[in-house]
Homo-oligomer: A and B are copies of this chain.
Amino acid sequence: MIHNFNAGPSVLPKEVFEEASKAILNFNGTGLSILEIGHRTALFENVLHEAISLVTELMNLNKDKEVLFLHGGASTQFFQIPMNFLGQKEKAAYLDCGVWGSKAIKEAKNFGSVDIVGTSKEKGYTFIPKDYAIPTDAKYFHITTNNTIEGTEMFSIPGTSVPLIADMSSDILSQQLDFNQFALIYAGAQKNIGAAGVNLVVIDKKLKQVPDRRIPSMLDYQQHIANGSMLNTPPVFAIYVCMLTLRWLKSIGGIPAIEKINKQKAEMVYSVLDANPEFRPTVAKEDRSRMNVVFVIDDPEKEKKFNEKCKELNFIGVKGHRSVGGFRLSLYNALPMESVEQFCSFASSFK
Contact = CB atoms under 8 A, between A and B. Distances in A.
A188 B234 CA distance: 11
Contact of A217 (B6, B7, B75, B197): B75
A219 B317 CA distance: 30
Contacts of A12: 33, 35-36
A91 interface: no
Interface in A4-49: 4, 6-12, 16-18, 20-22, 24-25, 30-33, 35-40
B233 A195 contact: no
B20 A24 contact: yes
Given A38-B317, A75-B218, A236 B22 contact: no
Interface stretch (A66-74, A249-257, A300-308): A66-74
A73 B76 CA distance: 13
A304 to B, nearest CB: 20
Interface residues of A, number: 63
Contacts of A216: 78-79, 83, 107, 110
- Choose among A4, A190, A216, A232 the residue with the greatest number of B CB atoms under 10 Å from its CB: A216
Contacts of A79: 216-219
Contacts of A238: 197, 235, 237-238
A40 B233 contact: no
Interface string A194-237: 01111000000000000000101111000000000001111111
